[in-house]
Amino acid sequence: MTDIERIRADHGMAQARNESIAWRRNAHLYGVSYQQGHRNGWWAGVRWLLEQQGQWDDLTDIEALTELGKEHASIYYPIFKTDPVIQIDCPSHGTITVDKTGVCDMCGRNFTGDN
């Protein structure tokens, strides 16, 4: 089962519930196509989110630290929530692990770009 199929199975009822609420509230304004548009938009958003999350490993160090700083507001949060750190190459200490502060614990070097 692909990610989108698993998400459809897990969250399809939530999508249908929200679609029905929106349909009852707005159908008289937009007609029958509104319901299909809502459904298409919902699942297009899910697909977009999965595609974006697939790029986590391609983010620059600064981009990844920015996302760590957003915590639960980040689209990448499901990926890093259990281990909110990244590996960075410190010129003084080689590969190190840093959290959202982006600071090397050994030398204090700031990798966030906020020097």
Distances (CA, A) of 87 to 22, 25, 104, 111: 44, 48, 11, 11
User: Per-domain residue ranges for the chain?
Assistant: 3-53, 59-115
Share of the chain above pLDDT 70, in %: 90
Radius of gyration of the chain (CA): 20
Q: Which amino acid is at 22?
A: A
Residue 90, pLDDT score: 93
- CB contact set of 61 (below 8 Å; sequence gap of 6+): 86, 88, 102, 111
Kindly report, residue by residue over 37-67, the tens digit of the pLDDT.
Answer: 777 888 888 888 888 999 999 999 999 999 9
Residue 85, pLDDT score: 95
Judge contact between 87 and 96, C-beta under 8 A: yes
Kindly report, residue by residue over 81-103, the tens digit of the pLDDT.
Answer: 999 999 999 999 999 999 999 99
For the entire predicted model, the pTM comes to 0.68
